[in-house]
Amino acid sequence: MNDDGYAVLAEGLQKRYGEKRALDGFDLTVRAGTVHGLLGPNGAGKTTAVRILSTLIRLDGGRATVAGLDVARQAREVRARIGLTGQYAAVDEVLTGRQNLEMFGRLFHLGGRRAKARAAELLEQFDLTDAADKGVGDYSGGMRRRLDLAASMILTPAVLFLDEPTTGLDPRSRGDVWDSVRALVAGGTTVLLTTQYLEEADRLASRITVIDRGRSIADDTPDGLKNRVGGDRVEVVVTERSDIPRVVKVVARVSDGEPEADETELRVHAPVTDRVGALTDVARTLQDEGVRVEDIGLRRPSLDDVFLRLTGHRTEKEAAA
């Protein structure tokens, strides 16, 4: 790896398509041996960034190294050290799972015998042994994606790019893919994961870069990002609108900020530091005062909240809802 312990380093990346700036001074640093999330809505530039870093397209400006190698000048060397899975790298649907892995193994210059052995190993590791000799066309979405991951792991790459690896998968298959990713990282691989699923970045990544309109607008831990929106909040939902002013008063006593009331959803919430103490205090006081409470709890801000706070606009999914 290079001297700084960074597996991926990008400085001021530029990529234009006609008038459109797909990347506009994009920066990224990914520490070796970690999962790094690249989070942003559709069209933010995630895929363009991954395609540049995996040598599929040329950059117009800036500089990037992967595993210490320059992606523009040492493309071939970079390719021997990376894996790519996701929207844009696929497996052959006519061949069987085993034939796919053996073919890719030979194309990674393992030689026939080692390619065969490595294919068998990977089929086992990704739980595909039973389906190994079936055509990939008959695989489920989750199996296909696991085979895709296995094909990226033939040389045990230093850096693995996962471009929206769980898009279009059902929750169970998504969980399977997540388990596979965790196992890979345990084996020492650095993972750069792009996703629109905020939950996915939160679950897998130890650090997240938020990208919007071709620029990185934040780089932090998942918790750090949440703290930017404010920490935990206590939240009370009442049944009667007339109770709201009383609840605001009660909540204000335990909060270190200004309570906010939502008249239509009958909801009052406020930031707190002593989470459990505040919650018990509010619950007891409301009970003593005889206020009828629909729901009471602590809420950690979601990454959707983070995105709204950072960019001033919602993620695509939210906007569509």
Binding footprint of other proteins on the chain (CB under 8 A) = 1, 54-58, 67, 76-77, 79-82, 84, 87-96, 99, 103-104, 106-109, 111, 135, 151, 155, 158
* Shortest Cβ 253–other proteins spacing (Å): 57
What φ, ψ does residue 189 adopt, rounded to 5°? -80, 140
Please give the Cα distance from 233 to 301 (Å, whole number): 8
Structural tokens at position 258: 């200004």
* Shortest Cβ 55–other proteins spacing (Å): 7
Please give the Cα distance from 157 to 139 (Å, whole number): 25
Q: Which is nearer to other proteins, 76 or 172 (CB)?
A: 76
Among residues 58, 50, 46, 63, which one has the least CA distance to residue 152?
Answer: 50
* Shortest Cβ 306–other proteins spacing (Å): 31
Using an 8 Å Cβ cutoff, are 254 and 281 in contact? yes
* Shortest Cβ 219–other proteins spacing (Å): 25
Helix ranges (H only) for 108-170 are: 112-125, 141-152
* Shortest Cβ 5–other proteins spacing (Å): 12
Among residues 165, 207, 149, 189, which one has the least CA distance to residue 50?
Answer: 165
Provide the pairing of β-strand 69-70 with 82-86: unpaired
